[in-house]
DNA sequence: TGATTATATTTGATTATACTCATATTATAG
DNA sequence: CTATAATATGAGTATAATCAAATATAATCA
Protein backbone atom coordinates (compact mmCIF):
# COMPACT_ATOMS: atom_id res chain seq x y z
CA UNK A 1 0.00 0.00 0.00
CA UNK A 2 1.35 3.36 -1.06
CA UNK A 3 0.37 5.89 1.58
CA UNK A 4 1.35 8.91 -0.51
CA UNK A 5 -0.76 7.65 -3.39
CA UNK A 6 -3.73 7.03 -1.13
CA UNK A 7 -3.57 10.57 0.19
CA UNK A 8 -3.11 11.95 -3.31
CA UNK A 9 -6.23 10.10 -4.36
CA UNK A 10 -8.18 11.49 -1.42
CA UNK A 11 -6.99 15.10 -1.57
CA UNK A 12 -9.35 16.16 -4.32
CA UNK A 13 -12.80 17.44 -3.42
CA UNK A 14 -14.56 15.66 -6.27
CA UNK A 15 -12.92 12.36 -5.42
CA UNK A 16 -13.95 12.75 -1.77
CA UNK A 17 -17.49 13.41 -2.97
CA UNK A 18 -17.36 10.18 -4.95
CA UNK A 19 -15.87 8.33 -1.99
CA UNK A 20 -18.67 9.65 0.19
CA UNK A 21 -21.29 8.29 -2.21
CA UNK A 22 -19.61 4.92 -2.57
CA UNK A 23 -19.39 4.61 1.20
CA UNK A 24 -23.20 4.48 1.18
CA UNK A 25 -23.82 2.36 -1.86
CA UNK A 26 -22.54 0.51 -4.89
CA UNK A 27 -23.14 2.80 -7.86
CA UNK A 28 -22.57 2.91 -11.58
CA UNK A 29 -20.91 5.79 -13.38
CA UNK A 30 -24.13 7.34 -14.60
CA UNK A 31 -25.56 7.38 -11.07
CA UNK A 32 -22.54 9.27 -9.79
CA UNK A 33 -22.64 11.56 -12.79
CA UNK A 34 -26.24 12.47 -12.05
CA UNK A 35 -25.97 12.79 -8.29
CA UNK A 36 -22.85 14.92 -8.31
CA UNK A 37 -23.66 16.79 -11.50
CA UNK A 38 -20.31 16.08 -13.05
CA UNK A 39 -19.36 15.25 -16.62
CA UNK A 40 -19.04 11.60 -17.58
CA UNK A 41 -15.38 11.73 -18.49
CA UNK A 42 -14.57 13.55 -15.30
CA UNK A 43 -16.30 10.96 -13.14
CA UNK A 44 -14.65 8.14 -15.06
CA UNK A 45 -11.23 9.68 -14.63
CA UNK A 46 -11.65 10.19 -10.89
CA UNK A 47 -12.94 6.66 -10.45
CA UNK A 48 -9.87 5.43 -12.25
CA UNK A 49 -7.60 7.31 -9.89
CA UNK A 50 -9.36 5.89 -6.83
CA UNK A 51 -9.23 2.44 -8.37
CA UNK A 52 -5.55 2.64 -9.25
CA UNK A 53 -4.75 3.37 -5.60
CA UNK A 54 -6.76 0.36 -4.45
CA UNK A 55 -9.46 2.40 -2.74
CA UNK A 56 -12.35 1.20 -4.89
CA UNK A 57 -13.10 -1.73 -7.18
CA UNK A 58 -15.67 -2.28 -9.86
CA UNK A 59 -17.64 -5.03 -11.45
CA UNK A 60 -18.89 -4.91 -14.98
CA UNK A 61 -22.51 -6.01 -15.46
CA UNK A 62 -23.83 -5.70 -18.99
CA UNK A 63 -23.03 -2.17 -20.10
CA UNK A 64 -22.74 -0.85 -16.57
CA UNK A 65 -19.71 -0.59 -14.35
CA UNK A 66 -20.63 -0.82 -10.68
CA UNK A 67 -18.14 0.78 -8.34
CA UNK A 68 -17.74 0.22 -4.62
CA UNK A 69 -15.20 0.73 -1.86
CA UNK A 70 -12.65 -2.10 -1.92
CA UNK A 71 -13.11 -4.44 1.06
CA UNK A 72 -9.37 -4.87 1.22
CA UNK A 73 -8.85 -1.16 1.48
CA UNK A 74 -11.26 -1.03 4.40
CA UNK A 75 -9.54 -3.93 6.12
CA UNK A 76 -6.03 -2.62 5.68
CA UNK A 77 -6.89 0.99 6.43
CA UNK A 78 -9.57 0.63 9.05
CA UNK A 79 -8.67 3.74 11.02
CA UNK A 80 -8.49 5.91 7.92
CA UNK A 81 -11.73 4.47 6.64
CA UNK A 82 -13.53 5.06 9.93
CA UNK A 83 -12.13 8.57 10.01
CA UNK A 84 -13.46 9.28 6.54
CA UNK A 85 -16.87 7.84 7.25
CA UNK A 86 -17.35 9.75 10.48
CA UNK A 87 -15.95 12.98 9.07
CA UNK A 88 -17.72 12.98 5.72
CA UNK A 89 -21.06 12.03 7.22
CA UNK A 90 -21.55 15.37 8.94
CA UNK A 91 -19.38 17.60 6.83
CA UNK A 92 -21.28 20.59 5.40
CA UNK A 93 -19.47 20.20 2.11
CA UNK A 94 -21.28 16.93 1.42
CA UNK A 95 -24.76 17.69 2.74
CA UNK A 96 -26.11 18.60 -0.68
CA UNK A 97 -24.65 15.48 -2.26
CA UNK A 98 -26.26 13.37 0.45
CA UNK A 99 -29.62 14.93 -0.26
CA UNK A 100 -29.22 14.41 -3.98
CA UNK A 101 -28.27 10.82 -3.34
CA UNK A 102 -31.48 10.27 -1.40
CA UNK A 103 -33.61 11.84 -4.12
CA UNK A 104 -31.84 9.85 -6.79
CA UNK A 105 -32.28 6.62 -4.94
CA UNK A 106 -35.98 7.20 -4.38
CA UNK A 107 -36.71 8.08 -7.99
CA UNK A 108 -34.43 5.62 -9.69
CA UNK A 109 -34.07 2.15 -8.23
CA UNK A 110 -31.04 1.33 -10.35
CA UNK A 111 -29.96 1.99 -13.91
CA UNK A 112 -30.61 -1.61 -14.80
CA UNK A 113 -34.13 -1.85 -13.42
CA UNK A 114 -34.90 1.66 -14.58
CA UNK A 115 -34.25 0.69 -18.15
CA UNK A 116 -35.97 -2.69 -17.93
CA UNK A 117 -39.11 -0.75 -17.13
CA UNK A 118 -38.92 0.88 -20.53
CA UNK A 119 -37.17 4.08 -19.57
CA UNK A 120 -34.09 5.70 -20.93
CA UNK A 121 -31.57 7.81 -19.15
CA UNK B 1 -11.71 21.92 9.79
CA UNK B 2 -11.28 21.62 6.07
CA UNK B 3 -10.97 17.95 5.18
CA UNK B 4 -9.84 18.59 1.60
CA UNK B 5 -7.12 20.92 2.83
CA UNK B 6 -5.96 18.42 5.42
CA UNK B 7 -5.62 15.71 2.79
CA UNK B 8 -3.90 18.11 0.41
CA UNK B 9 -1.40 18.90 3.15
CA UNK B 10 -0.77 15.21 3.75
CA UNK B 11 -0.55 14.05 0.14
CA UNK B 12 3.03 15.10 -0.40
CA UNK B 13 5.81 12.68 0.44
CA UNK B 14 8.08 15.32 1.95
CA UNK B 15 5.32 16.63 4.15
CA UNK B 16 4.53 13.12 5.35
CA UNK B 17 8.22 12.71 6.16
CA UNK B 18 8.06 15.89 8.21
CA UNK B 19 4.85 14.77 9.89
CA UNK B 20 6.51 11.47 10.74
CA UNK B 21 9.40 13.27 12.45
CA UNK B 22 7.16 15.66 14.34
CA UNK B 23 5.09 12.75 15.58
CA UNK B 24 8.17 11.65 17.50
CA UNK B 25 9.51 14.96 18.69
CA UNK B 26 9.34 18.74 18.72
CA UNK B 27 11.95 19.95 16.26
CA UNK B 28 13.29 23.17 14.82
CA UNK B 29 13.67 23.83 11.11
CA UNK B 30 17.39 23.13 11.01
CA UNK B 31 16.89 19.73 12.69
CA UNK B 32 14.36 18.72 10.05
CA UNK B 33 16.58 20.09 7.31
CA UNK B 34 19.49 17.96 8.52
CA UNK B 35 17.55 14.77 9.21
CA UNK B 36 15.64 14.76 5.94
CA UNK B 37 18.41 16.29 3.86
CA UNK B 38 16.16 18.94 2.40
CA UNK B 39 16.85 22.58 1.60
CA UNK B 40 15.91 25.17 4.18
CA UNK B 41 13.39 26.96 2.00
CA UNK B 42 11.74 23.72 1.09
CA UNK B 43 11.36 22.63 4.72
CA UNK B 44 10.04 26.05 5.66
CA UNK B 45 7.50 26.00 2.87
CA UNK B 46 6.21 22.55 3.77
CA UNK B 47 5.99 23.46 7.45
CA UNK B 48 3.95 26.48 6.48
CA UNK B 49 1.52 24.33 4.52
CA UNK B 50 1.06 21.92 7.42
CA UNK B 51 0.63 24.85 9.79
CA UNK B 52 -1.91 26.62 7.61
CA UNK B 53 -4.09 23.51 7.68
CA UNK B 54 -3.91 23.32 11.46
CA UNK B 55 -1.88 20.13 11.54
CA UNK B 56 1.16 21.57 13.30
CA UNK B 57 1.98 24.61 15.44
CA UNK B 58 5.21 26.28 16.34
CA UNK B 59 6.75 28.28 19.10
CA UNK B 60 9.51 30.77 18.57
CA UNK B 61 12.38 30.56 21.08
CA UNK B 62 15.22 32.95 20.44
CA UNK B 63 16.18 32.48 16.81
CA UNK B 64 14.68 29.01 16.60
CA UNK B 65 11.19 27.97 15.57
CA UNK B 66 10.11 24.75 17.24
CA UNK B 67 7.44 22.85 15.41
CA UNK B 68 5.15 20.13 16.76
CA UNK B 69 1.90 18.40 15.92
CA UNK B 70 -1.03 20.54 17.03
CA UNK B 71 -2.79 19.03 20.06
CA UNK B 72 -6.08 20.25 18.69
CA UNK B 73 -5.50 18.47 15.41
CA UNK B 74 -4.87 15.24 17.30
CA UNK B 75 -8.00 15.70 19.39
CA UNK B 76 -10.27 16.56 16.49
CA UNK B 77 -8.83 13.97 14.11
CA UNK B 78 -7.98 11.14 16.44
CA UNK B 79 -8.70 8.34 13.99
CA UNK B 80 -6.71 9.96 11.22
CA UNK B 81 -3.86 10.70 13.60
CA UNK B 82 -3.77 7.13 14.90
CA UNK B 83 -3.87 5.85 11.34
CA UNK B 84 -0.91 8.01 10.39
CA UNK B 85 1.11 7.02 13.44
CA UNK B 86 0.54 3.32 12.99
CA UNK B 87 1.07 3.41 9.24
CA UNK B 88 4.13 5.64 9.11
CA UNK B 89 5.86 3.82 11.92
CA UNK B 90 6.47 0.68 9.88
CA UNK B 91 6.38 2.06 6.39
CA UNK B 92 9.53 1.26 4.40
CA UNK B 93 9.50 4.75 2.92
CA UNK B 94 10.31 6.26 6.29
CA UNK B 95 12.76 3.74 7.71
CA UNK B 96 15.80 5.73 6.62
CA UNK B 97 14.40 8.94 8.07
CA UNK B 98 13.77 7.17 11.36
CA UNK B 99 17.36 5.99 11.47
CA UNK B 100 18.65 9.46 10.64
CA UNK B 101 16.45 10.86 13.34
CA UNK B 102 18.01 8.52 15.91
CA UNK B 103 21.53 9.40 14.85
CA UNK B 104 20.75 13.07 14.86
CA UNK B 105 19.22 12.90 18.31
CA UNK B 106 22.18 11.03 19.76
CA UNK B 107 24.77 13.37 18.34
CA UNK B 108 22.96 16.62 18.77
CA UNK B 109 20.83 17.12 21.85
CA UNK B 110 19.15 20.22 20.48
CA UNK B 111 20.21 23.20 18.42
CA UNK B 112 20.08 25.39 21.47
CA UNK B 113 22.24 23.23 23.72
CA UNK B 114 24.48 22.30 20.83
CA UNK B 115 25.39 25.91 20.29
CA UNK B 116 25.70 26.70 23.99
CA UNK B 117 28.49 24.14 24.04
CA UNK B 118 30.45 26.29 21.65
CA UNK B 119 29.49 24.58 18.43
CA UNK B 120 28.10 25.95 15.24
CA UNK B 121 25.76 24.31 12.83
C1' DT C 1 26.55 48.70 15.84
C1' DG C 2 27.84 45.13 12.60
C1' DA C 3 28.30 40.33 11.63
C1' DT C 4 26.22 35.96 11.87
C1' DT C 5 22.63 32.47 12.24
C1' DA C 6 17.86 30.68 11.80
C1' DT C 7 13.88 31.20 9.40
C1' DA C 8 10.58 33.14 6.02
C1' DT C 9 9.42 34.75 1.59
C1' DT C 10 9.87 36.02 -3.40
C1' DT C 11 10.83 34.72 -8.02
C1' DG C 12 10.91 32.01 -11.93
C1' DA C 13 11.24 27.48 -13.98
C1' DT C 14 9.42 22.83 -14.16
C1' DT C 15 6.22 19.35 -13.48
C1' DA C 16 1.80 17.46 -12.14
C1' DT C 17 -3.35 17.79 -11.93
C1' DA C 18 -7.95 18.61 -13.33
C1' DC C 19 -10.91 19.77 -16.73
C1' DT C 20 -13.54 19.80 -21.31
C1' DC C 21 -14.37 18.22 -25.79
C1' DA C 22 -13.91 14.72 -28.98
C1' DT C 23 -13.27 10.00 -30.06
C1' DA C 24 -12.81 4.96 -29.05
C1' DT C 25 -14.56 0.82 -26.95
C1' DT C 26 -17.85 -2.46 -25.29
C1' DA C 27 -22.35 -4.31 -24.69
C1' DT C 28 -27.13 -4.48 -25.75
C1' DA C 29 -31.36 -4.08 -28.35
C1' DG C 30 -33.79 -3.85 -32.49
C1' DC D 1 -25.62 -5.99 -38.81
C1' DT D 2 -26.68 -1.33 -37.20
C1' DA D 3 -27.88 2.02 -33.88
C1' DT D 4 -27.57 3.39 -29.34
C1' DA D 5 -26.18 3.71 -24.52
C1' DA D 6 -22.53 3.34 -20.90
C1' DT D 7 -17.95 3.83 -20.10
C1' DA D 8 -13.03 4.71 -21.06
C1' DT D 9 -9.37 7.16 -23.12
C1' DG D 10 -6.70 10.86 -25.92
C1' DA D 11 -5.49 15.60 -26.88
C1' DG D 12 -5.13 20.17 -25.55
C1' DT D 13 -5.43 23.72 -22.13
C1' DA D 14 -5.59 26.02 -17.75
C1' DT D 15 -4.38 25.91 -13.10
C1' DA D 16 -1.85 24.38 -9.14
C1' DA D 17 2.17 22.37 -6.74
C1' DT D 18 7.05 21.72 -6.13
C1' DC D 19 11.60 23.14 -6.14
C1' DA D 20 16.11 25.76 -5.96
C1' DA D 21 18.34 30.04 -5.72
C1' DA D 22 18.26 34.54 -4.14
C1' DT D 23 16.70 37.88 -0.96
C1' DA D 24 14.37 39.59 3.30
C1' DT D 25 13.53 39.46 8.23
C1' DA D 26 14.41 38.66 13.03
C1' DA D 27 17.22 37.39 16.82
C1' DT D 28 21.69 36.93 18.93
C1' DC D 29 26.47 37.70 19.85
C1' DA D 30 30.83 39.98 19.68
Contact B11 A11 (CB under 8 A): yes
- Strand C: which bases are under 7 Å from protein Cβ? 5-10, 17-23, 26-28
Cβ-Cβ contacts under 8 Å, A77 against chain B: 83, 87
Chain D bases closer than 7 A to any CB of the protein:
5-10, 17-22, 26-28
- Topology given in CATH for the domain delimited by A3-115: Arc Repressor Mutant, subunit A (1.10.10)
Determine, for residues A11 and B8 on separate chains, whether the beta-carbon distance falls below 8 Å: yes
pLDDT band at A90 (very low <50, low <70, confident <90, very high): confident
Determine the Cα–Cα distance for residues B51 and B69; give it in Å rounded to an integer. Answer: 9
A80 beta carbon < 7 A from strand C?
no
Whether A3 sits inside 8 A of B88 (CB atoms) is yes
| pLDDT score recorded for residue A109 | 64
The CATH code that applies to domain B3-116 is 1.10.10.10
**pLDDT single digits (tens) B42-61:** 999 999 999 999 999 999 99
Query: pLDDT band for position B118 (50/70/90)?
Result: very low
| CB contact at 8 A, A96 and A76 | no
Measured from the Cβ of residue A66, the count of other Cβ atoms closer than 10 Å reads 18
Burial of B47 (0-12, 13-18, 19+ CB in 10 A): buried
The residue ranges of every structural domain in chain B are 3-116
Say whether pLDDT at A121 is over 80.
no
Tell me the shortest Cα–Cα distance from B107 to chain A, in angstroms. 30
pLDDT tier at B71, thresholds 50, 70, 90: very high
Report the distance from CA of residue B117 to the C1' of nucleotide D22 in Å, as an integer.
32
The answer to whether A65 CB sits below 7 Å from nucleic acid chain D is: yes
* Cβ A54 vs Cβ A1: under 8 Å: yes
Task: State yes or no: pLDDT of A74 exceeds 50.
Answer: yes
B72 CB below 7 A from strand C atoms: no
Mutate to test the interface with B, among A4, A9, A13, A90 (most CBs of B within 10 A): A4
In angstroms, the CA B29 to CA B16 distance is: 15
Other C-beta atoms closer than 10 Å to the C-beta of A64 total: 18
pLDDT, tens only, A22-73: 999 999 999 999 999 999 999 999 999 999 999 999 999 999 999 999 999 9
The number of beta carbons lying within 10 Å of the beta carbon of residue A104 is 17
ipTM greater than 0.85, yes or no?
yes
CA distance B8 to chain A (A): 5
Distance in angstroms, CA of A115 to C1' of C1?
A: 85
pLDDT band at A114 (very low <50, low <70, confident <90, very high): low
CA distance B112 to A13: 42
Amino acid sequence: MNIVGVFKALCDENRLRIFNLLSKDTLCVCDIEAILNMTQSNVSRHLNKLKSEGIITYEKKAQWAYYKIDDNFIKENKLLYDYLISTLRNHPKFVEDNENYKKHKESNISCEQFIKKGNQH
